[in-house]
Amino acid sequence: MSDAKKLYIKTYGCQMNVYDSERMAEMLGASGYQETSTPDDADMILLNTCHIREKAAEKIYSELGRFKGLKAENPDLKIGVAGCVAQAEGQEIIRRQPMVDLVVGPQSYHRLGELEARAGNGVKALDTDFPEEDKFDHLASRPKARRGPTAFLTVQEGCDKFCAFCVVPYTRGAEVSRTPSRLLDEAQGLVERGVREITLLGQNVNAYHGDGDTLAGLIGKLAQIDGLERIRYTTSHPNDMQDDLISAHAECDKLMPYLHLPVQSGSDKILKAMNRKHTGDEYLRLVEKIRAACPDLLLSGDFIVGFPGETDADFEQTMDLIRAVGYGQAYSFKYSPRPGTPAAEKSHVEDAVKVERLARLQDLLTSQQRAAQQAMVGREVSVLFEKTGRLDGQLIGKSQHLHAVHVVSPASNIGSVRRVRITDSQTNSLTGELIG
Ligand code: 5AD
Ligand code: SF4
């Protein structure tokens, strides 16, 4: 279709935004848009944004500034802001960057086609509703074209936990789970298009409760799809880690031995101030229980340093918890006050202190990640090959523990799971050789 309009989408933030961007591209596909990889000759630019920390949100305004020239050259160019900044800031975005034509929140992007048609030539279209209807019932049907071996699938959205630092309950709204029958249909469709691994997404994915099914129940049903070889899920809250999900890690071969289970802090005082509703010890006991069910599990986490009121002693308790757990992978952040959240009202830890704590914490996490990777050397793992590597004849895939693995292999192995012996560990990846 040579007369198709060109759509440039840039995605920030979490994996759910990656999924939403796919669905938005499909919505706009129905309005005659085809995706392009550069903003330069686009007819529409859409930024799918993240509001989790201040830096992420502010980046959007500088990014928009860069499109000023393009808009001057092509006044028909439509510029849209979607995602969590759109939800949180709404009209304010158009006030700060008047060249923006369209603002759409994460719960109303099924109306994108209509908004796009209305926007432009000075008309602004804004929709940041939390509508009654379920957007998934109104999205464009998914295309049949072949796609890569891995995919995200949103099963649950929103959060009712209200951690004191977090904007998600405000930007994504209350917890909602999609029905298992719809999800099974969507997963089946993905597998028919070549997908072999599905990562189930939710801001609080293990709180999933679609039609009375738990996440473990849903995983059990998905595991019956022929051709689907691997299932993952993220992000989980410790308080929703139910026994049936723990057992699934022992019993379901397709469920990968990897768990992202954020704790945020190791200090009970800070956990309480964060409204996490569990203690450090409870988290440690939970980890023990999960590891008893699945000894080979690789644990990942999120940490915040410099939350209001965090003393040196509190921070040391976080370091102790990290030492006690032993993470294979983790994300860590300086606390960033977010407007409208309870913690933003508290007095803040000095930035220099946050910087120093973050550096120490990241050193520890990096050494644990290295050790976890090093422990793989000599082991046999299974790798789902995803794409060609930079070196001739090399493919890149992911092990069951989500390690990136480089292997010399025929390209025909892309999309297949193969046995691989790990021979070496680099900074952020492993090298291996095919077995047999
Ligand atoms: N400041 C710093 N980090 C935050 N996160 C969420 N909100 C904030 C904030 N205000 C982190 C948490 C969460 C991850 C997605 O982002 O660690 O688990
Ligand atoms: Fe935010 Fe996660 Fe806490 Fe929900 S559980 S408020 S998404 S940090």
Compute CA distances 175 → 96, 190, 202, 208, 374, whole Å. 31, 25, 9, 9, 39
Please name the residue that has the structure tokens 């990942």. 300
What class, spelled out in words, does domain 5-127 have in CATH? alpha beta
- Could you state, in order of their start, the residue ranges of all structural domains in the chain? 5-127, 146-374, 380-434
Separation of alpha carbons 264 and 261, rounded Å: 9
The residue ranges of the chain whose pLDDT is under 50 are 1
Taking 3-state DSSP, the helix, strand and coil percentages for the chain, each rounded to the nearest 5, stand at 40, 25, 40
**Ligand 2 in contact with 110 (CB < 6 A)?**
no
Q: Residue 347 — φ and ψ, nearest 5°?
A: -80, 140
Protein residue closest via CA to atom 16 of ligand 1: 52
| 13 alpha carbon, closest ligand | 1
| 278 alpha carbon, closest ligand | 2
Protein residue closest via CA to atom 13 of ligand 1: 302
Token pair of 232, please? Answer: 């993952």
Q: Does domain 380-434 sit in CATH 2.40.50?
A: yes
Q: What is the DSSP string of 386-427?
A: EEE-SSTTEEEEEETT--EEEEE--GGGTT-EEEEEEEEE-S
- Asked if 203 and 16 touch (Cβ cutoff 8 Å), the reply is yes
Strand order in the sheet with 78-82: 33-35, 5-11, 44-49, 78-82, 102-104, 125-127
Q: What distance in angstroms lies between residue 336's CA and the mean position of ligand 1's atoms?
A: 8
- The residues pairing with 396 across neighbouring beta strands, listed in sequence order, are 387, 406
Q: What distance in angstroms lies between residue 155's CA and the mean position of ligand 2's atoms?
A: 16
Q: What distance in angstroms lies between residue 15's CA and the mean position of ligand 2's atoms?
A: 15
State the pLDDT at residue 121. 87
Protein residue closest via CA to atom 14 of ligand 1: 302
State the pLDDT at residue 144. 86
State the pLDDT at residue 388. 95
Q: What distance in angstroms lies between residue 54's CA and the mean position of ligand 1's atoms?
A: 10
Compute CA distances 376 → 161, 371, 373, 421, whole Å. 36, 9, 5, 9
Separation of alpha carbons 358 and 355, rounded Å: 5
Terminal-residue alpha carbon distance, the chain: 45
State the closest ligand 2 atom to the C-alpha of 167, by its place in the atom list counted from 1.
1
State the pLDDT at residue 2. 55
**Ligand 1 in contact with 307 (CB < 6 A)?**
no
Q: Does domain 146-374 sit in CATH 3.40.630.30?
A: no
